């Protein structure tokens, strides 16, 4: 039976490339010249640490991060900007977690969406992946199109199409 997996993963190398291009652009930009700007990636925890001197520069740095990551092929919804920036001495720091893996609640939303679509497929939650199986590949492709056009705010990737 044909099947595929739905995951929510960001490639670590692509994320690292995006952070490096952000660092390069910030070092070349006139409005950041002479101000302390630090962008680091914690590869184990999938967290980007941002450090600037003002709130306005924090917004600009976030815009640069989103635009450069989009050019690298990372969905902007992979970043969680909900956490507020906090002052630390003369600088403002912000931690931006990167979505890596589906949690149980999001997996249940995806399964519910697939079942509501009314297609002849089965969806199973397997750890941080949702496996979808069906008799026809056309049904699986319809599920992919349905999820892409849905209002689920996750950077879904479709892997292991067999």
The secondary structure of residue 85, as a DSSP letter, is P
Q: Which CATH class is domain 3-8+101-159?
A: alpha beta
pLDDT at 33: 86
Tell me how far apart the alpha carbons of residues 91 and 127 are, in angstroms, rounded to a whole number: 39
3-8+101-159 and 12-97 have identical folds: yes
Domain residue limits, the chain: 3-8+101-159, 12-97
pLDDT at 120: 92
pLDDT at 155: 87
- At 93-127, the pLDDT tens digits run 999 999 888 889 999 999 999 999 888 999 999 98
DSSP 90-149: TEEEEEEEB--S--HHHHHHHHHHHHHHT-SEEEEEETTEEEEEES-HHHHHHHHHHHHT
3-state secondary structure of 4: strand
- In the structure encoding, which two tokens stand for residue 89, read together? 């001495």
- At 125-145, the pLDDT tens digits run 998 899 999 999 999 999 999
**To the nearest whole number, what is the mean pLDDT of the chain?**
92
Could you tell me which CATH number the domain at 12-97 has? 3.30.70.990
């Amino acid at each position: 039976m044909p099947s595929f997996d739905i995951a929510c993963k960001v490639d670590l190398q692509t994320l690292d490339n995006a952070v490096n291009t952000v660092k390069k652009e910030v070092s070349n930009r006139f409005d950041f010249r002479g101000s302390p700007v630090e962008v680091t990636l914690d590869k184990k925890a999938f967290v980007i640490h941002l450090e600037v001197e003002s709130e306005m520069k924090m917004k600009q740095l976030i815009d640069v991060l989103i635009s450069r990551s989009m050019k690298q092929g990372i969905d902007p919804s992979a970043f969680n900007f909900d956490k507020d920036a906090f002052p630390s001495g003369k600088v403002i720091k912000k931690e931006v977690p990167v979505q890596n893996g589906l949690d149980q609640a999001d997996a249940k939303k995806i399964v519910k969406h697939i079942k509501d679509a009314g297609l002849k497929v089965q969806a199973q939650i397997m750890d941080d992946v949702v496996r979808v199986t069906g008799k026809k590949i056309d049904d699986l492709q319809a599920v992919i199109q349905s999820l892409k056009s849905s209002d689920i705010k996750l950077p879904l990737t479709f892997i292991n199409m067999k």
